[in-house]
Amino acid sequence: MDGLQNDAAAVLQTVFDRQKDAFSFAHAEDLNARRHKLERIENLIRTRQDDIVKAIEKDYGTRSSAETLSAEIAMTLSASKDLRKHLKHWALPRRVKNGSPIPGKAIIQPRPKGVVGVISPWNYPFQLAMIPLITAIAAGNHVMLKPSEFTPHTSKLFEDFFINDFDTAEIAVVTGGHDVGEAFSALPFDHLFYTGSTKVGRLVAIAAAKNLTPVTLELGGKSPCVILPDADIAEAAKTIAFGKFYNAGQTCVAPDYLLVPKDQAEKIGKAIIETTTDFYEDLATEPDYTSIINEDHYDRLNKLVSQCVSEGVALLRTPSDEQALKAKRKIAPTVLLNPAGTSAIMEDEIFGPLLPILEYESVEEAIAFINKRDHPLALYVYGGGDGCDTILQSTTSGGACVNGTILHLMIENLPFGGVGHSGYGAYHGERGFREFSHDRAVFNLPKWVPKSLITPPYGKLFYTLLKKQMR
């Protein structure tokens, strides 16, 4: 293993050194060159759209083409067009107020960081690699991308995607397993962007800290969904089922568990399962219902269900042929009624089509339940009046959506990121441009400013200004 790690480290270091040597602050790409590069990437995406869909389909076994087109391709193209549209404005130096007694101009100057590393996950293997990558490019950086080893066909597509149209000194793709990922994290990047599990995110942060590399961590966690007493259950069931079972629950912001009023769990659970029967005619053959990514995750999810059954938890499931589902590595949408708060399914992020529903006596109890746990990446609340505001004001999360789920990701002007155990840093739109830029502080003193204002011997004028500042 040490030999493999050493080999991986040597190869990666060569690629990194080439990018580092090619990057120059003095000759950083102007905005037109960056926009042109983004346009080239957009054209590549459109040209190879079918290849992208097929590669992700091969990696999953069954992956809804509608979900790939919307969540992977359309979102990436939308993000790139938004970057091009606003880049000139975002990249302008910003004059800020000079609050000191010393005359001069105070300016914030966005600058590229240099060489950026991006480690992307398997659940949305194209979008979650490409949006950080194009945002880093818009900010003027060179980029090295390490896609997930769990999606080898998509990773191979990335290699082919860039190798013929871009110099590896500007955009480079490196593939491989754990040894490559470990060596990648240890490179002295000017910024490192990671999307994935909290467990691995900690290791990435530790590796980056050795180089004092700034890191953006896009992690996950157990995102709660609170149903208030005045919520419209029938309408809520539709968007909860959509957000939970989109990509078969393999979404970092999918509702991880529901908190519902006392004695409402079964009613709400049935409404959600009934909705799924409208969504999917036959789960096994339905091309819009996605498979679990691999056998390990499939077994892990089934083990969670078995543990709940052994604990006496009642299940509600979309009717299906279990053997036919197994052959396709699919798991039927499943609602689990009132598991214990200490149950295994309530410990880690589920990342699959399993939805626990827990009951609360009061809204205060629901808030306390959320706040006793790690801060989530997303929070959802259904209801009207002041109840939703109460939940939002009394909790924290990376993002939130009222009377809906997961759609806040599509709003380019909203930052996307976590808080605490669900990550730190954010991207999308302008927030992403800022994340991959260094805001350099520049203060221009006019030549006429008398040096006696700031230099010894400190005279009457110095103390007069000092007293004014200290009032």
Q: Is the pLDDT of residue 411 over 50?
A: yes
Q: In degrees rounded to 5, what are phi and psi of residue 260?
A: -130, 160
CB 294, CB 150: distance < 8 Å: yes
Terminal-to-terminal C-alpha distance of the chain? 64
* CATH superfamily for domain 224-417: Aldehyde Dehydrogenase; Chain A, domain 2 (3.40.309.10)
CB 294, CB 391: distance < 8 Å: no
List the alpha helices (DSSP H) in 139-195. Answer: 152-163, 178-185
CB 399, CB 406: distance < 8 Å: no
User: What is the pTM assigned to this prediction?
Assistant: 0.93
Ranges for all domains in the chain classified under CATH 3.40.605.10: 2-219+421-439
Q: Is the pLDDT of residue 45 over 70?
A: yes
Q: Is the pLDDT of residue 468 over 50?
A: yes
Measure the CA–CA gap between 277 and 394, rounded to whole angstroms: 35
Q: What is the pLDDT of residue 102?
A: 83
| Count of residues making up the chain | 471
How many CB atoms within 10 Å of residue 3? 8
Compute the average pLDDT of residues 126-148: 97
Ranges for all domains in the chain classified under CATH 3.40.309.10: 224-417
- Radius of gyration, alpha carbons of the chain: 25
Range 277-280 contact pairs with CB under 8 angstroms and sequence separation of 24 or more: 277/318, 277/319, 279/241, 279/242, 279/245, 280/318
**433: closest CA among 216, 170, 159?**
216
State the chain's mean pLDDT as an integer. 93
Compute the average pLDDT of residues 237-244: 96
Q: What is the pLDDT of residue 28?
A: 84
Q: What is the pLDDT of residue 5?
A: 57
List the catalytic residues: 218, 252
pLDDT for 97-116, tens place per residue?
998 888 899 999 999 999 99
Q: Is the pLDDT of residue 233 over 60?
A: yes
- β-pairing verdict for 378-382 and 224-227: parallel
% pLDDT > 90, the chain:
85
Q: Is the pLDDT of residue 4 over 70?
A: no
How many CB atoms within 10 Å of residue 238? 16
Q: Token pair 């498979």 is at which residue?
A: 291
204: confidence class by pLDDT, cuts 50, 70, 90 = very high
Sheet holding 224-227, edge to edge: 314-317, 334-337, 354-360, 257-261, 224-227, 378-382, 399-402
Q: What is the pLDDT of residue 6?
A: 65
260: confidence class by pLDDT, cuts 50, 70, 90 = very high
Please give the full DSSP string across 403-425, using - where no structure is assigned.
Answer: SSSSGGGG-TTS-EE--GGGEE-
Q: In degrees rounded to 5, what are phi and psi of residue 427?
A: -150, -165
Structure tokens at 448: 């006429």
Compute the average pLDDT of residues 244-256: 96
Those residues whose C-beta lies under 8 Å from the C-beta of residue 177, and which sit 6 or more positions away, are 149
- β-pairing verdict for 224-227 and 257-261: parallel
pLDDT for 372-408, tens place per residue?
999 999 999 999 878 899 999 999 999 999 999 999 9
pLDDT for 296-350, tens place per residue?
999 999 999 999 999 999 999 999 899 999 999 999 999 999 999 889 999 999 9
List the alpha helices (DSSP H) in 168-317. Answer: 178-185, 198-209, 233-245, 265-279, 295-310
Measure the CA–CA gap between 194 and 178, rounded to whole angstroms: 14
Measure the CA–CA gap between 5 and 47, rounded to whole angstroms: 36
Burial class (CB in 10 A: 0-12, 13-18, 19+), 106: middle
Compute the average pLDDT of residues 417-425: 94
Measure the CA–CA gap between 452 and 459, rounded to whole angstroms: 7
Domain 2-219+421-439, architecture per CATH: 3-Layer(aba) Sandwich (3.40)
Buried b (16+ CB within 10 A) or exposed e, 249-266: bbbbbbbbbbbbbeebbb
pLDDT for 160-169, tens place per residue?
889 888 999 9
